[in-house]
Amino acid sequence: MKAIWNNVIIAESPATIVVENNHYFPAESVNQEYLRVSNKQSVCPWKGLASYHSIEVGGQLNRDAAWFYPEPKDAARNIKGHIAFWKGVEVVD
């Protein structure tokens, strides 16, 4: 699977975890040079507290377009160390 935004591959892995139709990429498969720190957080009742990254490519910023669960609840422990994408980031096979 590949995560692409602004015609650049942000992440690529043959081993994503699909949860609620979102592909979670292992953190080591994500090109960290495109990630920017974000203060955004949200809460999922069964996964826990999510943190976000913005994505910057070619001088364009996609705010809060990547999320992850630093300490997921037990029901979602399999996505610890993984990052998912939205906000126009295309995930393709």
Q: Could you read off the pLDDT of 3-32 as tens digits, one per residue?
A: 999 999 999 999 999 999 999 999 999 999
- What are the beta bridge partners of residue 7? none
pLDDT band at residue 72 under the 50/70/90 scheme: very high
Q: Which CATH superfamily is domain 2-83 in?
A: Domain of unknown function (DUF427) (2.170.150.40)
Instruction: Please state, in angstroms and rounded to a whole number, the distance separating the CA atoms of residues 33 and 10.
Output: 9
Average pLDDT over residues 37-42: 97
Instruction: Please state, in angstroms and rounded to a whole number, the distance separating the CA atoms of residues 37 and 47.
Output: 21
Which residue type occupies 33? Answer: E
- What are the beta bridge partners of residue 2? 12, 92
Q: What is the mean pLDDT of the chain?
A: 98
pLDDT of the residue at 36: 98
* Total-model pTM: 0.96
pLDDT of the residue at 22: 98
Instruction: Please state, in angstroms and rounded to a whole number, the distance separating the CA atoms of residues 53 and 31.
Output: 12
| Tokens of residue 48, six digits | 């826990």
Please answer whether residues 62 and 35 qualify as being in contact, where contact means their C-beta atoms are separated by less than 8 angstroms: no
